Structure 1
Amino acid sequence: MPAWNEETTIGQSIRELRETAPWVDLVVINDGSTDKTSAIAKSHGAFVIDLPFNMGVGAAMRTGYKYAQRMGYDIALQMDSDGQHPPEYIDVLIKGLEQADIVIGSRFQGNSTYKVSGPRKWAMGILSFMFSRISGEQFTDVTSGFRAVNRRGIAQYCDFFPAEYLGDTIDSTVMAIRSGCKVVQVPVQMRERQGGEPSSGPLKSAIYLIRSFFAFGISMTRRKTEPAGKDN
């Protein structure tokens, strides 16, 4: 669970996770927050890794996956700390790992009511089309940060999850597909963030999606890698 200045939401997010899935081991990656995010997460029983300064969500996620690999976990899940990802869908993501190495929770599949509009909707549609073409799978939400991975996916993300915030989910997913990992989507419901301030407004979100096209193109020009180690 990456977190940057989420003191208003992280406590509730952790409580909800504990109530719904008490069996999970929670690791909060505090990405250089300047508020009480770290202290609140610790007070709610989370194990917290404090990064020395704000390094971006890509670096935070890579830190989390490296922790999962070092600790020998068979499965790792990522979810936001702002309450957008309902933990009751964790079982749905894990179930998807029976047929894949990486499972993405889609806001726009099945009976989801989540809506986007304008340039963001158009850009996400084009990205989904491009991913569907290169993978042979149907994608509708390639920017989703609600994911589950097996050991092979963990190894893949440890090696290729970009530390910089330049289409990080795009780059990492393209490289996973090109490395031979099986990537699929499952339908989930998502909510609007439950409090605090988003890390980027509408303009920055649009710019991020435009940059994602460049990240996709750059990833497609990289040399194909050998598949990451298969899970035991």
Structure 2
Amino acid sequence: MIKIENVHKSYKGKKVIENFSTTISKGEFICILGESGSGKSTLLGLMSLMIKPDAGSIIYKEKSSRSSSEIQKIRRNTIAYLFQNFALLDDKSAKYNIDLGAKLNPSFEKEDLRGIIEKVGLTESILTKKVYELSGGEQQRIALARALSKKFDVLFADEPTGNLDHKNTRHVLKIFKDLCKSGKSVVVVTHDIEIAAFADKLIYL
């Protein structure tokens, strides 16, 4: 279980997250909802240790993540993150970008990678193209494949279906549900009510 206890975060004197607490249990699917500018992405960054809180504690596996070395270890071994802007290398191939996640997972096998690529619906023709040649929806699926190939217990995703049509949104939702059934946790920032309807827990900001 992950515990977030009394977390605060401000930017330039403006309170964005104030005295926030929650838990993330094994196999739980959580959606964070709210209007634009309400702090959803900031909260996701805090939960995933991408952003340091001004006050409060974020506890992974009974340990408070305070030191930089401990944070790096947790992020390397426990967390996968799907960025809203994808954070891909535009001048590299789709396959190259996906391989970056697999390189962080020493137990990963080529068969596992092929399974993930098939799961997110990427074709061989897409894999060989440079990222800048691909559509937003294709880039989003590449970013998802990269995240899934990394070693993790919790997947954090910022607007993971923002560039996808209805069919692919349903496909990603099934991937998230299957991850939760396997014991992994998924925390998603979304405006998509269809995604939120399947959450075990909703957080409104």
Which has more helix, going by share of residues? 1
User: TM > 0.5 between the two?
Assistant: no
Give the TM-score of the pair, scaled to structure 1.
0.30
